[in-house]
Structure 1
Amino acid sequence: METPMGYGSMRRKEDARFIRGRGTYVDDVTLPGMLYGAVLRSPFAHARIVSIDTKAAEAHPKVRAVITGAILDGLKLAWMPTLSYDTQAVLATDKVRFQGQEVAFVVAEDRYAARDALELIDVEYEPLPAVVDARRALDPDAPVIRDDKDGKTDNHIFDWSSGDKDATDRVFSEAEVVVTQDVLYPRVHPAPLETCGAIADFDKVTGKLTIWCNTQAPHAHRTVYAMVAGLPEHKIRIISPDIGGGFGNKVGIYPGYVCAVVGSIVTGRPVKWMEDRSENLMSTSFARDYHMRGEIAATRDGKIRAVRVSVIADHGAFNGTAQPTKFPAGFFHVFTGSYDLEAAHCAVTGVYTNKAPGGVAYACSFRVTEAAYLIERMVDVLAYELGTDPAALRMRNLLRPEQFPYPSPTGWEYDSGDYPRALALAMDIAGYDDLRAEQAAQRERWAAGEVGGTLMGVGISFFTEAVGAGPRKHMDILGLGMADGAELRVHPTGKAVLRISVQSQGQGHETTYAQIVAEELGISPDDIEVVHGDTDQTPFGLGTYGSRSTPVSGAATAVVARKVRERARIVAGAMLEVSPEDLEWEKGRWFVRGDPDQGRTITEIALAAHSSLELPEGVEGHLDATTVYNPPNLTFPFGAYICVVDVDPGTGRVKVRRFVAVDDCGVRINPMIVEGQVHGGLADGIGMALMELIAFDPDGNCLGASFMDYLLPTSMECPSWELGATVTPSPHHPIGAKGVGESATVGSPAAVVNAVLDALKPFGVRHADMPLTPAAVWRAIQGAPLRTDLAIG
């Protein structure tokens, strides 16, 4: 593998506690005198609140407080800002706007009493018509959901566009071939292992508020709490311990967090709130829910010239998306994918519906997943139309290495890549020609009337992802620039502590960042402690999501380590009585140029930096440094995926036989961790393609509020992954890394869907929407006649 010396696979440092069951999650934290909170949620998707009677609940012997929206309104806490400059009710006051919305909060001596007391609260509702279809929500006669906003008479949130519309329309008017397809990326849920929760402890004596919360963005949470509660920010401490998965679900602030804070202020005791699984699935941030119409303009011989897209984005009852301010549709700009185009244009309209707030950056790098899925489905639709092999079509249109850095038609600059090499490697690993030959023989038997058994499908996707949210001059959330800090301190004995602003949710930060410091300074990773998840102990930063950990905070780590190394150079010069300019670095030591025997190790230098050694005037001692890293550009990892499926036409059942994934995430710090990230993302993609769906009935009732209804993939549905890699360093990242946390989730759904639809080609099926459950596949087959004249591939 093309990695610098010093980087490489090593066991994760954090696993020592995890595999022994010694991790500390929010629900593991118990404080003296702690009370427990529970949320009363609306059974209706849309209803006016006539009255709330809490007397019976307040009379419960173990209840210490019952909080309603009216109480919060008196404290000026009834509404809170979302991460998209919208507002969201903490507890509903006027009406409820989605099933599961928070109506009241009970604080009791134990969690069972708190739950029991919810049944004693009497709420009178006046049901209102609900709208759960984003297209229907735009109708003039649709129920207005956000009538709390002055003058609001419709459900429109925003209109946003990217690219050159006139140039795109001109190419389409000249095109030899135009294909159009409506594509739905349905609403799905991150479903983390640990649900959302918080413990709030307000000290009335010191005025200090401490919150244990499983958030991906501790510092951003602290700032928002200061905005909401009016408390001085330096009096708020957020502690985010081990997180049982986040995937974007734990970026925003939920009403339960705020209610726990208010409960602690009211009672004078710590208050814990932990949601159950149904609450998590029903009311916390969803993802996707994009209704997309894609068009491709091409020549008859398969040259893609332009892409045109229109989107209706369902954001639920409150616009709670964690997107950069300037990009309300996230990084959907990359809908042009990995292809060399003359022009492109997209238009996105955001809409309110009677669903829980959606649009979270769920392992999707700010809507890149939807964009990648659309373009990869459209390329397969074009291949279907032209009767050409989808791999050959992609290979013809992929960007070439000499085109980088590549200015995309929508204004992004892709940093580096060798796309044809990645696709060729994936095809080689898969044995692509042999797969097509096997498929052709199978289809010949079908054409001859030998119907029976399964149908084989081969699906391809090629994706380019945009990650590492920044630079801050272009990207912020609530006015907070998307840059990250890092602090590094080397103790006198040569041991080091690195403090970072991003929060791990399972990616192995404690190992990866230690490896970066080890590579830069020559200190063993075992002697480097990585501190994160505590706002009193770490520098400010915007958190972990959008696969920004290594692209931004990893870069900050490299930069701060290099600052320490340069400081060590000055100290070494004083120790060796030479000018620092006369020293050269080799891993772990500075030595005199031309005399390698005259040198000092980083451990020796660290001790001297804390000693009575006389340093040059104006030079401070110690080996400490801080930095704030503002990335000059996003990074653009990419990959080529090939999926092989077998489809039973009698039942519609899909079995994933093989999955080949070739990823290029730039320099790989720890290949084992990278592969683990890819494994998880591939399983995630299979789940979204074949089974995951948050559905609603016409009244807005959530039909996916348990794991009996919302299905997740298991090892039984996943094959043994076949991984490959190319390494194309990012030219602007300090160590050439690009990030990989979301790549497999971005690229895999399209590969699976394309494989299933490839299997269904003999039936004339051109497209079917996810999830491709057995019932959906069976219906697609029944809706089209058997075709025996379709070109293979």
Structure 2
Amino acid sequence: MTAPVEEDVKVGFGRMRRVEDARFIRGRGTYVDDVQLPGMLHLAILRSPYAHAKIVSIDTSAAEAHPKVKAVVTGATLDSLGLAWMPTISYDTQAVLATDKVRFQGQEVAFVVAEDRYSARDALELIEVEYEPLPVIADAKTALDPGAPVIRDDKEGKADNHIYDWQAGDKDKTDAAFAAADVVVSEEILYPRVHPAPLETCGSVAHLDKATGKLTVWTTTQAPHAHRTLYAIVAGLPEQKIRIISPDIGGGFGGKVGIYPGYVLAVVGTIVTGKPVKWMEDRSENLVSTAFARDYHMTGEIAATADGKILGLKVNVLADHGAFNGVAQPTKYPAGFFHIFTGSYDYGAAWCNVTAVYTNKAPGGVAYACSFRITEAVYLVERMIDALAAKLDMDPAELRLRNFIQEDQFPYTTPTGWTYDSGNYPVTMRKAMEIAGYEKLREEQRAQRERWAAGDRSGTLTGVGISFFTEGVGAGPRKHMDILGLGMADGAELRVHPTGKAVLRLSCQSQGQGHETTFAQIVSHELGIPTLDIEVVHGDTDQTPFGLGTYGSRSTPVSGGATAVVARKVRDRAKLVAAAMLEVSHEDLEWEQGRWFVKGDPEQGKTIAEIAMAAHGALELPEGVEGHLDATCVYNPPDLTYPFGAYIAVVDVDPGTGVVKVRRFIAVDDCGTRINPMIVEGQIHGGLADGIGMALMQVMAFDTDGNHLGSSFMDYLLPTSLECPSWELGETVTPSPHHPIGAKGVGESATVGSPAAIVNAVLDALKPWDVTHADMPLTPANVWSLTQGRPLRTDLAL
């Protein structure tokens, strides 16, 4: 349930229609594939059919003879130019084109540049590659076995598939807590490999202007400035001669953060041919070869007293990173923010170990609608809480309420050293229960189970599942977090023109989140300029300040903070100009939205528009004030922000077929200050649908030979409106004390919190069979199999 769109707000925060939608709904958006340049050529990539194989030989002669082909390039050619390998954002290396061998199905082997897309793809069929198949590791659990084939034998001295071990927390203290516990519950939990599957696939148009030496790349990236720096490193071009343009993007979800080989190959193509070169992947290429997420094998143990007080948590994780470590995370945290794994509960001891390995799969670890592995951590904790509740025969809502961090404990330092900024978890949980009618749902469920026990087993069984999450978003500050040495601070530039209209330039990049509306509203709130009089510019490195882009829900926590700070700088400058106009001391002025006025005499004042005209005119300004109403800012966030939420899923399960229907979903989110509630609700709607997909249908599967089994939307299923209920949303508002406007971010929250609620609900429905665990996705076949061979309990105290 969402509120209707009322009259669009004119100034400041509030519900209003997105300004960018005017072009989108009319088909006037500009995407990479819309870019057409004179003389543009097209690039297609030859990909390996094998997951692991030596390259014995490559014969490109037939492809080169094709009348429309302009270039054919192999890994050997790139190797001779020093371009065969590129850095990943995890300080690993990745082959741009395979040279010695291929390491996953779909890896790039060669590319063709031709006059049109069809000729380029036809010419791929003319390239003959002789492969010598090698043993395959398609399961992370076998990657470290003695005698396992070494995938990264390109690394000198590398004798196994180990990437790293990483620990957090206090193991001795945690062991002591477990020794004192009355109850210990353990579960082996898989968060399977999934894919962002954006509406728009990845692509680039690269053009090297030989006259100026300027390389312009239109590309599907969430981090244009970071891409510019990495292109300079990889290609050896002067960074000031590189321009990255990221136009409208049809979804990213973390999958368009890193640099894919195809991006680099487009640059190589324009260098080789001297013409603009376009590369756009098809859907199968996107599903098979671009970055995946999750693929975590987790073992969790939770310790508690007999009355349900949680004492400690232990976690061991085996992380499958694929053939190259392309995990998106800050440098100091190889396992990302997984060690914010203690969740929303107050217990004194926790410890985790994460081991990462190489396998013969495409590089994984993208921050897919999550802040660097927090999604996996939340799923683990919320499944463990339900497992503990079942062991204690306690209502899962009551167990959570009994163990929540309390309002007066904030700022709260977790057992692994992270400091949550603010929160009131019990209020949020109780609000979700109130919207759901929680007690009534449980009464209906008991009556339903009584009928089943009495022999009336028609219809479905209802399950009620709960998930409560705390997420850490807004990656920063730069002293703690960087990627490849680039600090996680964002820039902002704001100019107020003489007529009072404004232009805001930002380093973050929208992929549909409504940035052009949200950030204009922040400026409007701070300066009183009508929202529609503020233009937001992003996605062009020649037009915007440096920053690390949009992912990990950084937009509002970091770039939003930058926007508020730069607007306040303009407001302070405007105060000095207004003082000169009114011939008073600036200390005698007060601010109200949109104008400075004289204390005690509100009639004597000047609006921002009047001040802007004077700042550009002949007014004699105070000493030190140069004129104009411009300002810049680099916002270095003091810490992460921590949005949270309570989710309740109600499902109906047909035990005879295994079909799961999500009947209701209640989501109460606290993302601090809400700038535009309509945009917040839209973000939540999308994330909840994403959660249904992950919980019930999405999985990237592989056979024992490393063949990818989800290379189309016939195999990799996505939720539609038919699988989604009418969402029931609520909110609480706990502003972040250290953010300039108190905002925490919400773009990933629903994806983080919803899968556990759905899985917990399905298992709750199957409780009469004593089913306590199942791994996602809970497809009909998987759900049906859970009850087979199990007796139906007639004990109705469930």
Q: TM class, shorter-chain normalised?
A: over 0.9
Distance 2:398 2:678 in 1: 32
SS of 1:333's partner is coil
Any residues of structure 2 matched to 1:553-592 within 5 Å, and which?
A: 553-592=559-598
Give per-residue Cα distances to partners, 1:271-306, cap 9 Å, x unaligned.
000000000000000000000000000011111110
Distance 2:722 2:458 in 1: 24
- Contact 2:10/2:530, CA 8 A, preserved across alignment: no
The one-letter code of the counterpart of 1:61 is P
Q: Does 1:433 align with 2:433?
A: no
Q: Does 1:650 align with 2:635?
A: no
- Contact 2:18/2:517, CA 8 A, preserved across alignment: yes
Any residues of structure 2 matched to 1:367-766 within 5 Å, and which?
A: 367-766=373-772
- Contact 1:388/1:791, CA 8 A, preserved across alignment: no
Match of residue 794 from structure 2: 788
Q: Does 1:244 align with 2:244?
A: no
Distance 1:424 1:788 in 2: 31
Match of residue 100 from structure 1: 106
Q: Find the partner of 2:241 among 235, 239, 245.
A: 235
Distance 2:566 2:789 in 1: 60
Any residues of structure 2 matched to 1:271-310 within 5 Å, and which?
A: 271-310=277-316
Distance 2:323 2:789 in 1: 35
Match of residue 369 from structure 2: 363
Distance 2:716 2:452 in 1: 35
Match of residue 779 from structure 1: 785
The one-letter code of the counterpart of 2:336 is G
TM-score (norm 1): 0.99
Give per-residue Cα distances to partners, 1:434-477, cap 9 Å, x unaligned.
00000000111111122221110000000000000000100000
Give per-residue Cα distances to partners, 1:53-110, cap 9 Å, x unaligned.
0000000000000011111011110000000000000000000000000000100000
SS of 2:658's partner is coil
Q: Does 1:341 align with 2:347?
A: yes
Give per-residue Cα distances to partners, 1:288-332, cap 9 Å, x unaligned.
000000000001111111010000000000000110001111111
Distance 2:518 2:475 in 1: 19
Q: What value does the CA root-mean-square deviation take over the aligned residues?
A: 1.2
Q: Find the partner of 1:173 among 151, 171, 179.
A: 179
Match of residue 6 from structure 2: none
Match of residue 334 from structure 2: 328
Distance 2:782 2:66 in 1: 49
Aligned length: 792
The one-letter code of the counterpart of 1:179 is V
The one-letter code of the counterpart of 1:355 is K
Distance 1:6 1:481 in 2: 30
- Contact 1:34/1:272, CA 8 A, preserved across alignment: yes
- Contact 2:206/2:276, CA 8 A, preserved across alignment: yes
Distance 1:379 1:42 in 2: 43
Give per-residue Cα distances to partners, 1:226-273, cap 9 Å, x unaligned.
000000000000000000000011001011111110010010000000
Relative distance call for 1:531 and 1:385 in structure 2 (3 A) is same
Distance 2:794 2:226 in 1: 58
Shift of 1:5: 8.4
- Contact 1:761/1:790, CA 8 A, preserved across alignment: no
Distance 2:644 2:791 in 1: 37
State which drifts further: 331-340 or 369-378: 331-340
- Contact 1:41/1:102, CA 8 A, preserved across alignment: yes
Any residues of structure 2 matched to 1:5-84 within 5 Å, and which?
A: 6-84=12-90
Shift of 1:784: 2.8
Shift of 1:733: 0.2
The one-letter code of the counterpart of 2:148 is A
- Contact 2:10/2:531, CA 8 A, preserved across alignment: no
* Superposed structure 1 runs of 4+ greater than 4 Å apart: 1-5
The one-letter code of the counterpart of 2:139 is D
The one-letter code of the counterpart of 1:223 is T
Shift of 1:785: 2.5
State which drifts further: 446-455 or 245-254: 446-455
SS of 1:558's partner is helix
Distance 1:259 1:507 in 2: 29
SS of 2:192's partner is strand
State, as a whole percentage, how many aligned pairs show the same letter: 80
Relative distance call for 1:4 and 1:313 in structure 2 (3 A) is farther
- Contact 2:12/2:523, CA 8 A, preserved across alignment: no
SS of 2:295's partner is strand
SS of 1:237's partner is strand
State which drifts further: 395-404 or 446-455: 446-455
TM-score (norm 2): 0.98
The one-letter code of the counterpart of 1:92 is A
Shift of 1:790: 5.7
Match of residue 183 from structure 1: 189
